[in-house]
Amino acid sequence: MTRTLAVVALAAALAACAPSEPPVRWAIAIHGGAGTISRELSEAERREYEQALASALAAGRDVLAAGGSALDAVERVVIQMEDDPHFNAGRGAVLTWDGGHELDAAIMDGSTLACGAVAGVTTVRHPIALARGVMERTEHVFLAGEGAERLAGELALERVDNDWFTTPRRLAAWEALRAGPPSAAPGGGTVGAVALDAAGRLAAASSTGGTLGKRRGRIGDTPVIGAGTYADGACAVSATGRGEEFLRRGVARAIALEAEIGRSSCAEAAERIVREVLAEGDGGVVVVGRDGRIGMPFNTPGMYRGAADAGGRFEVAIWDDGAR
């Protein structure tokens, strides 16, 4: 018996000394919208989108690799994507039925549950910066319309004319929509990022122009905490797709709750809810959990997305033959 115990003790000691897989120190995932993304894109157009995604992903990676916070990383990514006309956020946002732009954004710090959101802003160049201003400079969570614009002035955030957000591609799509029935409006896209930093903190951020041809005052899931954007100690989520469906199901919070109660990992919860709760064609999410695992499930023909982590991962993809 003594010899058996000695063997067991030796085996345990050797196991303890054996090298183990190092934990992921930081991780980040981004998206630039989900929907019907034609595979007929020219090679040049595809490269443009991949380069735009890679540039935004690199901006967030650099923040995290330098020891920065998850919150700073996701804001940095979204600011860059708000300035990129390839995406439906900031410059490049779709137009409302009346021909203007109404922009929404949200940001959340999973380590404290602090969050901020704005909706229906029309002159703020970077709505995500205003959302962070709501979180850090007011006692509120959500400001809309004139009140949000007034806060932007108080915070001296950069302002632009509403038509600054218009691009020729978005204008052409709006004109085509106005020439046909209102029901012809396709779903819109969104940009977003989720991150885990080296200190173990999670954060999420999202920004959007909404859906093409939307009614004035329409608010989708993006700025609604728990629907399109959410982060806590277990999971960070940013969603894209048919906003009304994400609102009805509280998708972002539902994913995080499954991870929080230990029913599944954040990545597994995201996969299940996108595949089993949402309907085909509703959209997708990017998530990262406290374990550093990234998930990017979607049920549409494509989703602009990318992922990077401290282990050297760095990839972007559009269709379902790329990064998952």
Q: Over the stretch 200-258, which tens digit does the pLDDT of each residue have? A: 999 999 999 999 999 999 999 999 999 999 999 999 999 999 999 999 999 999 999 99
Which domain CATH number covers 184? 3.60.20.30
Give pLDDT, residue 41. Answer: 78
Give pLDDT, residue 157. Answer: 98
What's the rounded mean pLDDT across residues 27-31?
A: 98
Confidence bin at 263 (pLDDT 50/70/90)? confident
Amino acid at 181: P
Q: Over the stretch 50-61, which tens digit does the pLDDT of each residue have? A: 999 999 999 999
Q: Over the stretch 94-122, which tens digit does the pLDDT of each residue have? A: 999 999 999 999 999 999 999 999 999 99
Residue 123 burial (C-beta neighbours within 10 Å; 0-12, 13-18, 19+): middle
Q: Is residue 87 part of a domain?
A: yes
CA distance 227 to 238: 9
Residue 181 makes CB contacts below 8 A (sequence gap 6+) with none
The pLDDT of residue 24 is above 80: no
Give pLDDT, residue 180. Answer: 82
The pLDDT of residue 182 is above 90: no
Structural domains counted in the chain: 1
How far from 144 is each of 95, 117, 141, 308, CA to CA, in Å?
Answer: 18, 8, 10, 33
Using CA atoms in the order 124, 28, 283, 44, what is the torsion angle rounded to 10 degrees? Answer: 80
Do 81 and 87 meet the contact criterion of CB atoms below 8 Å apart?
yes
Give pLDDT, residue 139. Answer: 98
The pLDDT of residue 271 is above 60: yes
The pLDDT of residue 313 is above 50: yes
**Annotated catalytic, 122?**
no
Q: Over the stretch 119-176, which tens digit does the pLDDT of each residue have? A: 999 999 999 999 999 999 999 999 999 999 999 999 999 999 999 999 999 999 999 9
The pLDDT of residue 323 is above 70: no
Tokens of 282: 């509703």
Residue 62 makes CB contacts below 8 A (sequence gap 6+) with none
Amino acid at 274: V
Q: How many residues does the chain have?
A: 324
Helix, coil or strand: residue 35? strand
Amino acid at 132: R
Q: Is residue 91 part of a domain?
A: yes
Give pLDDT, residue 13. Answer: 46
Give pLDDT, residue 183. Answer: 44
Q: Over the stretch 280-294, which tens digit does the pLDDT of each residue have? A: 999 999 999 999 999
Give pLDDT, residue 36. Answer: 75
Q: Is residue 300 part of a domain?
A: yes
Catalytic hit among 190, 211, 229, 240: 190
The pLDDT of residue 74 is above 90: yes
Q: Is residue 123 part of a domain?
A: yes
Confidence bin at 185 (pLDDT 50/70/90)? very low
Q: Is residue 209 part of a domain?
A: yes
The pLDDT of residue 2 is above 80: no
What's the rounded mean pLDDT across residues 30-38?
A: 88
The pLDDT of residue 45 is above 70: yes
Q: Is residue 83 part of a domain?
A: yes
Q: Is residue 15 part of a domain?
A: no
Give pLDDT, residue 42. Answer: 85
Q: Is residue 279 part of a domain?
A: yes
Domain span at residue 42 reads 22-319
